[in-house]
Amino acid sequence: MGLYYREKFKNGAEIAVWEITETENQLSALCVLPNDEQEELSYISSEKRRIERLAVRALLDLLFPEKVYLRYHENGRPFLQNSIVELSIAHTGRFACVITHPENSVGIDIEALSRNFASVEARAVNEEEREALSDKSEIRSHQLAIIWCAKEALYKYMSQNDVDFARQMEIARFYPREQGEIQADFIHKDGERESFTLEYTILDDHVMVWLVG
């Protein structure tokens, strides 16, 4: 399928989403991998993961007129070795997405609305958030999907280790719509609290949430 969604924002951020319908060989033919990425790819045993990596590379080739070199910090945060542009990456079985900004930190996540979020609710949702969930199963499922994506996007943005998703991140009450904003707090281990506004949109049967600093 290729490029599914692309949007540039007034704040300088840009999001691009690739719908993954190609085989590994087809994706490989669409982009030229730098040697380091080719070597890393050879160590990935999961074909699904290799395909996701290739879809991300295809997006980078679209977003950047000149070749950029994707690397990862020890904590897993991606960065471009030859560019000061900030980026964040997420993928599901169907989509790969990238958000970039010329200088500010970013975070993004995407999930299928059909996913079972029972385990997420048990380990990543605090009591206040749970009390704000709807009694209607479909709305509740959408709320959980957005909460989870928001916390993942915030986690990527903060780039800290050993974060307790239930205790250190709080998502304010909201009603899920096709697109909107979410208020969130990140509580540092010393008790300091930071507030953020995240945005989200529904892409077909998926939800995507992002944050720009």
Tokens of 69: 């070199």
> Is the distance from CB of 199 to CB of 181 less than 8 angstroms?
yes
Residues 141 and 138: their CA atoms lie apart, in Å, by 5
Residue 33 pLDDT grade (very low, low, confident, very high; cuts 50, 70, 90): confident
**Arithmetic mean of pLDDT, 95-120:** 95
Region of poorest pLDDT, from 11-20, 93-102, 114-123, 184-193 = 114-123
Examine the pLDDT at 1 and tell me if it is beyond 80.
no
User: Per-residue pLDDT tens for 123-169?
Assistant: 999 999 999 999 999 999 999 999 999 999 999 999 998 999 999 99
- Identify the helix (H) or strand (E) that includes residue 156: helix 137-158
Residues of the chain with CATH 3.90.470.20: 2-104
Specify the CATH number of the domain 2-104. 3.90.470.20
Task: Dump pLDDT digits (tens) for 3-27.
Answer: 999 999 999 999 999 999 999 999 9
Residue 35: band (very low, low, confident or very high) from pLDDT cuts 50, 70, 90: confident
pLDDT band at 38 (very low <50, low <70, confident <90, very high): confident
Average pLDDT over the chain, rounded to an integer: 94
**pTM exceeding the 0.75 threshold for the entire prediction:** yes
**Cα distances (Å, whole numbers) of residue 99 to 151, 170, 174:** 16, 23, 24
pLDDT confidence of residue 98: 98
Burial group, residue 161, by CB count within 10 angstroms (0-12, 13-18, 19+): exposed
